[in-house]
Amino acid sequence: MTAEGTATTGAAANETPVLATALTKLVGVRHPLVQTGMGWVAGPRLVSAAANAGALGILASATMTPEQLRSAIGEVASRTDRPFGVNLRADAGDAAERVRIIIDGGVRVASFALAPSRELIARLKDAGVVVIPSIGARRHAEKVAAWGADAVVVQGGEGGGHTGSVATTVLLPQVVDAVDIPVIAAGGFFDGRGLVAALAYGAAGIAMGTRFLLTSDSTVPPAVQARYLKAAVKDVTVTTKVDGLPHRMLRSELVASLERSGRAAALLTAVRHAASFRKLSGLSWAQLVCDGLAMKHGRELTWSQVLLAANAPMLLKASMVDGRTDLGVMASGQVAGLIEDLPSCAELVDRIMAEAHRTVAALPH
């Protein structure tokens, strides 16, 4: 294991013992747990609650304007004195401006859904920001490690949102063996047993999205959370019909409709949602299309898929903010089928860490 010992700290004697790893030492959090930067979900309330619970909370910035991001960072800082991070798109046209906001805001961690450039990594590191890209393949981990990334999140196919086809249990050991920076495991984790398993593989911690989405600190509407809690493992699927890329989400009426729709209907849907997102984000049509093209990553996408790639945030907003499961999509890891309750972030983190210690203690010696 990469766990580097346990210790009891803090004012209260009954606090959950610390499980120190390379991750906790790198970013200064109490526990080797990360709440991922989920668009429309990982806002100031959830991020500060996760941080106060001892995990690394990650603010999702892709669905915010620069000014909204600046305000959100200030709100998180007013709610917690613990380290937290911001997730951003490396290929966004205003990435440099967002990096400046992160640096000016004293944010501890910058995470990326896509590999940032060598120059972007250097700029952040020069300012003392810890850089943690998310990757889905061994070669991507090797690339960002060579460019100076401080750690990586490796997401297996079980994870929600954009995902790959390789299971975490196969991908994780590949990456751990390939790089000499801390590796954070994502995809399929929701409890203390999973944390111990990840540590046994050589990871320095775990990152969870769906599990933190399903907490009482999450701002996701109750009716949408109920839809997640009701889901079985078989109710989580992967589709390319949302934006042309493999996207893991809950089965829904809209997903079924997109799967059945022809090219003309898909284009009409894309244009309608693109118009809504353009108004909300303040982007021009040219900027919207450029962002969509940037998300192609060399794939052969139709124009409807390019538009959907650019305005997919609106499909998420419809569910995650407006509560319209009939009009939106619900990104989800397969673990949604195993989750049955809505604890607070504090309760969840304490439960996971207590279970992890019990699991380690129960292992044969």
The answer on 37 and 146 residing in a single domain is: yes
- Examine residue 211 and state whether it is found in any structural domain, yes or no: yes
**Per-residue pLDDT at 118:** 95
The answer on 191 and 237 residing in a single domain is: no
Report yes or no: 189 and 211 within 8 Å, Cβ to Cβ.
Answer: yes
The answer on 343 and 327 residing in a single domain is: no
What are the pLDDT tens digits along the chain (365 aa)? 445 554 433 333 346 778 999 999 999 999 999 999 999 999 999 999 999 999 999 999 998 999 999 999 999 999 999 999 999 999 888 999 999 999 999 999 999 988 899 999 999 999 999 999 999 999 999 999 999 999 999 999 999 999 999 999 999 999 999 999 999 999 999 999 999 999 999 999 999 999 999 999 999 999 999 999 999 999 999 998 887 789 999 999 888 887 877 655 656 666 666 565 555 555 566 665 665 555 555 455 566 666 666 667 778 888 999 999 988 899 999 999 999 999 999 999 999 999 999 999 999 98
- Examine residue 204 and state whether it is found in any structural domain, yes or no: yes
* Rounded Cα distance, 223 and 181, in Å: 40
* Rounded Cα distance, 179 and 204, in Å: 13
Number of domains within the chain: 2
The answer on 130 and 26 residing in a single domain is: yes
The answer on 164 and 252 residing in a single domain is: no
* Rounded Cα distance, 299 and 183, in Å: 28
* Rounded Cα distance, 167 and 169, in Å: 5
The answer on 28 and 85 residing in a single domain is: yes
Chain centroid to Cα 177, Å, comes to 23
Structure tokens that stand for 274 in this block = 């693109």
Instruction: For 351, list phi and psi in degrees, rounded to 5.
Output: -65, -45
The answer on 180 and 269 residing in a single domain is: no
Which residues, in sequence order, are bridge partners of residue 207? 34, 186
> Which residues constitute the domain of residue 283?
232-331
The answer on 256 and 204 residing in a single domain is: no
- Examine residue 199 and state whether it is found in any structural domain, yes or no: yes
- Examine residue 227 and state whether it is found in any structural domain, yes or no: no
pTM of the predicted structure, to 2 decimals: 0.88
- Examine residue 166 and state whether it is found in any structural domain, yes or no: yes
Report yes or no: 105 and 124 within 8 Å, Cβ to Cβ.
Answer: no
The answer on 353 and 311 residing in a single domain is: no
The answer on 167 and 28 residing in a single domain is: yes
* Rounded Cα distance, 313 and 266, in Å: 16
The interaxial angle of helices 118-126 and 95-104, nearest 10 deg, is 20
3-state helix, strand, coil in the chain (%, to 5): 45, 15, 40
**Per-residue pLDDT at 258:** 78
**Per-residue pLDDT at 257:** 81
- Examine residue 343 and state whether it is found in any structural domain, yes or no: yes
Chain centroid to Cα 190, Å, comes to 14
CA nearest to 56, candidates 81, 28, 77, 78: 28
The answer on 146 and 27 residing in a single domain is: yes
The answer on 213 and 288 residing in a single domain is: no
Burial 48-66 (b: 16+ CB within 10 A, else e): bbbbbbbbbbbbbbbbbee
Which residues, in sequence order, are bridge partners of residue 186? 155, 207
Report yes or no: 249 and 331 within 8 Å, Cβ to Cβ.
Answer: yes
Report yes or no: 196 and 358 within 8 Å, Cβ to Cβ.
Answer: no
Which residues, in sequence order, are bridge partners of residue 153? 134, 184
